[in-house]
């Protein structure tokens, strides 16, 4: 956790990994205690555990007694066809054997906070099935994963063609969020629904047996050093599970690939000199309004309005003109790899 100033406001910035599976998932056998140890070794401030259709990790002593790392236990649920995966938090309700429309209706009636998991889940190889969000009209979730490491990795994996290289150098092949996922996100926001974007690792720790030897790859520790979601919380607020979840829900956050670089002094926001807004906030349109940014390294910065690129430059710091109302966000890349993706700022 670090303290930073953006314009005239002070914030705590926390870095964390979302969508982590433990021994309580049918597809993982990593103990919760070990996950917490690995998260602390990789300097995370928070993690979210989303085991399939249960929240048993919340009963672990290592979770209850943890002080330096915020461990948020939610769940991952799905429909009968194993599609429409949803990350759920701030509830103890596990809903099974329902359609996405049915369980979203139940969750929205409560204080649950929800995110669609890998909503656009494409596959190059027919050996692996996809797990998509099947209806764009069913979108009563609070946000969605715009970048899921495991989903992107599996999506481009063709075992007979590139399998060895994908196993040995997984981060090389996860270059940026899928275009169709970003388009889905932009369509929802352009329709006025204001959905926040999160990045996730979807960590299971994969295993492969060859020549009588068991290999582990895409381990929790390795993935904790890749796609993170950094949240911004005002310094006069408590660092707590609910405040982190609220920041994720509102979009007071940005997604960053730490394999490309540590964003240690990155900030961005829109200001007209008198008023300002950070990611997830709204601001009234005015003349002389700019999207300001500051980066630790030279990078390609694209300003996106309602899903369309309206400005692009290569620099470490600068300002990009806001000429009309709309939803504005930044996409920042280095050497062709996606680095930072901010949530929208709504200029009204």
Kindly state the tokens that stand for 191.
């329709």
What pLDDT is recorded for position 210? Answer: 59
Q: In the predicted model, what is the mean pLDDT of the chain?
A: 96
Instruction: Please name the residues in contact with 211: beta carbons below 8 A apart, sequence gap of 6 or more.
Output: none
CATH superfamily of this structure's domain 265-348: Immunoglobulins (2.60.40.10)
Per-domain boundaries in the chain: 2-259, 265-348
pLDDT in tens, 267-314: 999 999 999 999 999 999 998 999 999 999 999 999 999 999 999 999
pTM above 0.75, yes or no: yes
- Note whether 240 and 324 are within 8 A (CB): no
Of 52, 45, 43, give the one whose Cα is nearest residue 21: 52
Region 253-268: what's the mean pLDDT?
97
CA dihedral 65, 67, 69, 73 (to 10 degrees): 40
Interstrand relation of 345-347 and 282-283 (parallel, antiparallel or unpaired) = parallel
What pLDDT is recorded for position 213? Answer: 59
- From the candidate CATH numbers 3.20.20.140, 3.90.1150.10, 2.60.40.10, 3.40.50.1110, the one assigned to the domain spanning 2-259: 3.20.20.140
Q: Looking at beta carbons, which pairs linking 26-34 to residues 24 or more positions away fall under 8 Å?
A: 26/52, 27/52, 27/204, 28/203, 28/204, 28/205, 29/205, 30/204, 30/205, 30/220, 32/57, 32/60, 32/62, 32/63, 33/60, 33/62, 34/220
What pLDDT is recorded for position 207? Answer: 73
Of 278, 281, 283, 302, give the one whose Cα is nearest residue 13: 278
H or E element in which residue 309 lies: strand 308-322
- Note whether 253 and 196 are within 8 A (CB): yes
What pLDDT is recorded for position 105? Answer: 96
Share of the chain above pLDDT 90, in %: 95
pLDDT in tens, 11-22: 999 999 999 999
Higher per-residue confidence, 160 vs 207: 160
Radius of gyration in angstroms for the set of CA atoms belonging to the chain, rounded to a whole number: 20
* Chain length of the chain: 348
What pLDDT is recorded for position 15? Answer: 98
Of 340, 328, 339, 338, give the one whose Cα is nearest residue 194: 328
Alpha-carbon distances, residue 102 vs 80, 179, 246 (angstroms): 12, 29, 23
Q: Is the pLDDT of residue 3 over 80?
A: yes
Helix boundaries (H) for the chain: 32-41, 61-64, 100-108, 149-155, 159-168, 170-173, 179-190, 220-223, 241-250
pLDDT band for 2, please (50, 70, 90 cuts): very high
């Amino acid at each position: 956790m670090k303290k930073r100033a953006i314009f005239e406001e002070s914030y705590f910035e926390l870095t964390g990994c979302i969508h982590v599976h433990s021994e309580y998932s049918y597809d993982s056998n990593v103990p919760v205690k070990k996950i917490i140890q690995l998260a602390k070794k990789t300097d995370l401030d928070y993690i979210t555990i989303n085991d399939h259709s249960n929240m048993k990790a919340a009963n672990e002593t290592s979770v209850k007694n943890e002080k330096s790392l915020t461990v948020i236990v939610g769940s991952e649920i799905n429909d009968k066809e194993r599609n429409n995966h949803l990350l759920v938090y701030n509830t103890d309700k596990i809903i099974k054997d329902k359609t996405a429309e049915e369980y979203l209706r139940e969750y929205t009636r409560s204080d649950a906070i929800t995110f669609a998991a890998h909503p656009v889940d494409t596959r190059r190889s027919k050996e692996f099935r996809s797990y998509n969000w099947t209806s764009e009209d069913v979108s009563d979730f609070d946000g969605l994963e715009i970048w899921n490491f495991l989903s992107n990795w599996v999506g481009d994996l063709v075992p007979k063609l590139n399998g060895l290289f994908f196993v040995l150098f997984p981060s090389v092949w996860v270059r940026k969020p899928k275009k169709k996922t970003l388009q889905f996100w932009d369509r929802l926001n352009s329709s006025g629904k204001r959905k926040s974007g999160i990045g996730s690792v979807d960590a299971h720790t994969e295993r492969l047996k060859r020549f009588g030897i068991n290999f582990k790859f895409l381990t929790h520790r390795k993935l904790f050093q890749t796609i993170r979601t950094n949240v911004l919380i005002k310094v006069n607020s408590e660092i707590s599970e609910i405040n982190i979840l609220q920041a994720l829900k509102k979009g007071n956050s940005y997604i960053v690939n730490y394999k490309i670089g540590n964003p240690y002094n990155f900030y961005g926001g829109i200001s007209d000199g008198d008023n300002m807004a950070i990611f997830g906030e709204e601001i009234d349109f005015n003349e002389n309004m700019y999207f300001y940014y500051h980066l630790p390294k030279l990078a390609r910065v694209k300003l996106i309005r309602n899903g369309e690129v309206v400005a692009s430059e290569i620099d470490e710091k600068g300002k990009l003109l806001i000429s009309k109302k709309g939803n504005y966000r930044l996409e920042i890349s280095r050497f062709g790899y996606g680095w930072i993706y901010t949530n929208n700022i709504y200029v009204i």
